Amino acid sequence: MKLTLEVWRQKNGGDKGGFSTYELEDVDTHMSFLEMLDVLNQDLIVGGAEPIAFEHDCREGICGACGFVVNGVAHGHQKGSTICQLHMRHFSDGDKITIEPWRAKAFPIIKDLVVDRSSFDRILQAGGFVTIRTGSAPDANALPVATDTLEHAMDFAECIGCGACVASCPNGAAMLFVGAKISHLALLPQGMPEKAKRALKMVEAMESEAFGACTNYTSCEAVCPKEISISGIARMNKDFRRASVAGAEPAHGKKR
């Protein structure tokens, strides 16, 4: 299979950057998208050129390291998968593929397709701790959680923080990510005590980063490799609204 790749190249954050075009012969249909880039990079290295920088780690679609925009769609056109799980059999001979990094003010480009997603880390840090007992493992049934509830929480916990939601949002909003993080803890008894405080802190942290605001385009859930639902955004809004009205401090029964 023969492919023409149009890839965004940028030396560093200060560089203006631009597209470079590469012709690639004999692409195996069994290759994953990243393996195809590995082959291209090998050619570049042999030819004395700088290889294309892209992030990757597990290549199993569960770590959240990889991700860029392929032909206008974050993680490529295959639903519910990261770019490392997209295989070249989904492309045809002679295709022209445009590859761009996540584009958002909150995700500054480090090099080529690698962006700095530490804005996500700062939001997570703002969420604070969860009061669980550390030390020896607790008794299996000490804290009963209904199967439906834990499945619901797990659906949100699946978020790998790849940033595709921000990349795909016409507004560059991070609400699916923050909604998933808030929801997965708020649904479980372990995360319940800090629910209000967490919603306030994480939404505040999100607002202080350079993300846009949600206008319900829903393209985030359409590209999410974990297919996380925008119901997480609704839950975040609800928790934030309640916490804003009632305050983040726990209620108390004595005059203080």
Partner 1 sequence: MAVTGIILFGFVVGHMLGNLQIYLGQEQLDHYAELLQANKPFLWAFRSVLLFCVSVHIWAAVVIWLRNRSARPVKYKMFQPPGLDYAARTMVWSGPIVALFIVYHILDFTVGTANPDFIKGEVYHNVVASFSNPVIALVYMAACLLLAFHLYHGLWSLFQTFGWDHPRFGWIRRALAIFFSVLIGAGTISIPLAVLTGFVR
What are 101's two structure tokens?
A: 């990094």
Report, in Å, the least distance between residue 137 CB and partner 1: 31
Q: Which among 170, 161, 181, 190 is positioned nearest to 239, based on CA atoms?
A: 181
Give 160 or 173: the residue with its C-beta nearer to partner 1. Answer: 173
The phi, psi pair for 144, rounded to 5°, reads: -70, 130
Q: Which among 177, 184, 63, 209 is positioned nearest to 130, based on CA atoms?
A: 184
Q: Which of 84, 173, 186, 203 binds partner 1 (CB under 8 A)?
A: 173
User: Residue 104 interacts with partner 1 (CB under 8 A)?
Assistant: yes
Q: Which of 176, 200, 214, 228 binds partner 1 (CB under 8 A)?
A: 214
Q: What Rg, from alpha-carbon coordinates, does the chain have? A: 21
Start-end of H helices in the chain: 33-46, 118-127, 147-157, 164-168, 175-186, 195-208, 219-223, 231-246
Report, in Å, the least distance between residue 141 CB and partner 1: 25
Q: Which of 22, 59, 218, 248 binds partner 1 (CB under 8 A)?
A: 218
User: Residue 212 interacts with partner 1 (CB under 8 A)?
Assistant: yes
Report, in Å, the least distance between residue 240 CB and partner 1: 8
Q: What residues make contact with partner 1 under the rule CB under 8 A?
A: 6, 19, 69, 71-74, 77, 98, 100, 103-106, 152, 168-173, 210-223, 230-231, 233-239, 241
